[in-house]
Amino acid sequence: MAKMPEESVNMMSEIFDDASSRRYSSPLRWLSLITVSFAVFGAYYAYDTISPARRVLETELGFGPSSFSWLVAIYSLPNLLGITLLGGIIADRRGIRFAGKLFITLTLMGSLITAFGVSSFFRTSHLAEGIRMVSGSFSPEFIVMFIGRFIFGMGAEVLIVTQEKVIVRWFKGRELGLAFGIGLLICRIGTIAAFIVSTRILDSTRVYTMLENAGFMMMVTDKSSGLETVIWLGAVIMLLSTGSFMLYTLVEKTYSRKHSMKESNFSGNHKGGSILNVLKSKPFIWISLLCFSFYSAVFPFTSFATDILQSKFGISISSAGFYTSLVMTSTIIGTPFFGYIVDHYGYRGRIMILGSILMTLSHSLLAFTSIHPLVAIVIMGISFSAVPAAIWPSVAIFIDENDVGTAYGFLGVVQNAGLWGVPILIGKITDWTNPGVTTDMVNRKLAVWDYSGALILLTAFAFISVISAMMIRKTAKPGSEFFLPGIKK
| Residue 242 near residue 57 (C-beta atoms within 8 A) | no
pLDDT at 131: 84
pLDDT at 261: 45
pLDDT at 25: 59
Counting the structural domains of the chain, the total is 1
Nearest to 321 by CA among 195, 442, 226: 195
Whether residue 47 is contained in a domain is answered as yes
pLDDT at 366: 95
Whether residue 14 is contained in a domain is answered as no
Query: Which residues form the domain of 316?
Result: 25-483
Whether residue 268 is contained in a domain is answered as yes
**DSSP H helical ranges for 259-372:** 264-267, 275-279, 282-296, 299-313, 317-329, 331-345, 348-368
pLDDT at 358: 98
Task: Write the DSSP string, 115-154.
Answer: HHHH-HHHHTSHHHHHHHHHSTTS-HHHHHHHHHHHHHHH
Nearest to 416 by CA among 173, 20, 86, 74: 74
How many CA atoms lie less than 13 Å away from 62 in the CB half-sphere?
7
Whether residue 367 is contained in a domain is answered as yes
Whether residue 259 is contained in a domain is answered as yes
pLDDT at 471: 96
| Residue 305 near residue 426 (C-beta atoms within 8 A) | no
Q: What is the pTM of this model?
A: 0.77
Find all residues with CB under 8 Å of 460, minimum gap 6, and list them. Answer: none
Nearest to 40 by CA among 177, 166, 159, 194: 159
In whole angstroms, give the CA distance from residue 201 to residue 51.
13
Whether residue 391 is contained in a domain is answered as yes
pLDDT at 287: 97
Whether residue 16 is contained in a domain is answered as no
Length of the chain: 489
Whether residue 130 is contained in a domain is answered as yes
Average pLDDT by stretches of 10, the chain with 489 residues: 44 44 68 93 92 80 78 82 90 88 95 91 86 81 91 92 89 87 88 87 75 57 76 95 93 72 51 81 96 94 88 85 85 90 92 97 95 95 94 91 89 85 88 84 80 94 97 91 80
Say which CATH number the domain at 174 has: 1.20.1250.20
